[in-house]
Amino acid sequence: MDVVRTGPLVVGSGIAGLYVALRAQEAGLRPIMVTKSRLEESNTRYAQGGIAAALGADDSPALHLRDTLRAGAGLVDRAAARRLTEDAPARIADLVRYGVPFDTVEGQIALGREAAHSRARIVHAGGDATGLQIEETLRRRVGDAGIEARERTVLRRLERGPGGLPRVTLSRDDGSGVEIVEDRPVVLATGGAGSLYRETTNPSVATGEGVAIAWRAGALVRDMEFIQFHPTALALPGSPRHLITEALRGEGALLLNAAGERFMARYHPDGELAPRDVASRAIAAELRRSGDRCVYLDATALPRDLLYTRFPSICRFLAQHGLDPSRDRIPVTPVAHFMIGGVATDLDGRSSLPGLLACGEVASTGVHGANRLASNSLLEGLVFGERVVRALEQPGPGGPARPRRKVVIAAIQGRGEGADPAVIERVRDLLWERVGIVRNGIVLAQAAGELERTALATEPSDGDVLPGTGANAVITALLVTRAALSRVESRGAHYRTDFPTTAPGWRTHLGLLRAGP
């Protein structure tokens, strides 16, 4: 007799959620996917650079590991990073098996180079449309596999349920059709929180709700102070902050200030290929010094054919704004890009709550440390997504270690759900202005105080009221801010002018817990 196993509820439809659903279906686990918007709307779709994997003859997982450790500013979990780098080639092979059309040269997968990588190891598809190609391929395979996928379905609440599995409340995005799910493990793949910043590359759905919901349920959240800012987004008045991939700098494009001077050598010996945190702060410093609104990415020395073949999406977008990168310098500025912290997990994606797993940007595996190495993010969703499926096949104990340093935040008993869109807009301004690329304790404390007061108006007043997007935005922003206020040093993506050096005593993860039962 066949044994029918109850499959997971997979929340989110980026690379992590799609991959977990496909692999779970192949394992006979019968997953259900839910996503709060359309199936195709996620950060994955907008990822340009590619996926890092040691595939070249001059490369190895050990070199990839070395680069990952170096970029992470002393906080990378070595075991997680080793798993990431050693499993990378196999996960690329999975994508090839699913039909992702990676770019090739003479029959071999083409490899590019990005900042802080010592080798060319970035695989891409459609030039600079890697995320789009992956998302469309995996989404098509989900449909072909007959996996149940519910769009515009929102995770509203997560609780400890009977029988050792979470109790989940879902609804339609308009609040109707409330449904309780109690008999399935839950995989959070809800993505990051970049759109909680006013200036960001992220789509509007990236509001960090998975983190807020997990924290309310009592899950350990970790390393939320580390928000990575991408150094180069298009800086034109009235234009979206379209990502200008650092693969352009990998091909030889230069960063210039308004006076036409290269400046990155003053900040890092690797110049334009410095890690993202260094490049973002360097540009911010140039802008503070000069009072200009942007610096410039100069790719005019690169062959026109290379630009339009390797970066077709960027070239098309720039053309819509009257720019030709083979002729014109591209105005760029740093913006919020990636949430390094999130729901703490072990190497198999298990959180501190039984039956709750997480992978992708919503998870904190420790693999990125304090500063993510370029193009390790899509890879993280694949590598740890695979491990999540294996953990679902063979359930057992696990979960993340409790960090040595932690902040306990009291549960907030509010006065109801503040649905006013102005709440989220204020959060976006507050994070950008006070919890941004450069921070200090005074403004962080001011931001934390305002967010705590706002939470009183947005958190549910009792257990019968379901939190909404506004309440979740405030909680996630508060977790970022309290973590940034608590880490009294500068490390990786977290820089404080009042504590500008890296402190050996802070070479540890910072956990955030909800007080109470």
Tokens of 52: 């890092």
In whole angstroms, give the CA distance from residue 41 to residue 45. Answer: 7
Per-residue three-class SS string for 151-172: CCEEEEEEEECHHHCEEEEEEE
Residue 216 bears catalytic tag: no
CB atoms within 10 A of CB 35: 28
Phi (first) and psi of residue 127, to 5 degrees: 70, -105
374-405 in b/e form (b: 16+ CB < 10 A) is bbbbbbbbbbbbbbbbebbeeeeebbbeebee
Alpha-carbon separation of residue 207 from 120, 367, 488 (angstroms): 33, 22, 26
CA angle 73, 75, 81 (to 5 degrees): 100
Q: Give the relative orientation of helices 15-26 and 377-393 as an angle to the nearest 10 degrees.
A: 30
Assign 3-state DSSP to the chain and report helix, strand, coil percentages, each to 5.
35, 20, 45
Tokens of 303: 């062959």
From 45, 113, 139, 276, active-site residue: 276
Alpha-carbon separation of residue 249 from 229, 235, 260, 296, 408 (angstroms): 16, 17, 16, 12, 42
Closest CA to 85 of 427, 405, 367: 367
Give the DSSP letter of residue 335: E
CA angle 289, 295, 298 (to 5 degrees): 145
- Is residue 470 classed as helix, strand or coil in its secondary structure? helix
Tokens of 91: 């996960």
In whole angstroms, give the CA distance from residue 97 to residue 368. Answer: 27
Residues recognised as catalytic: 276
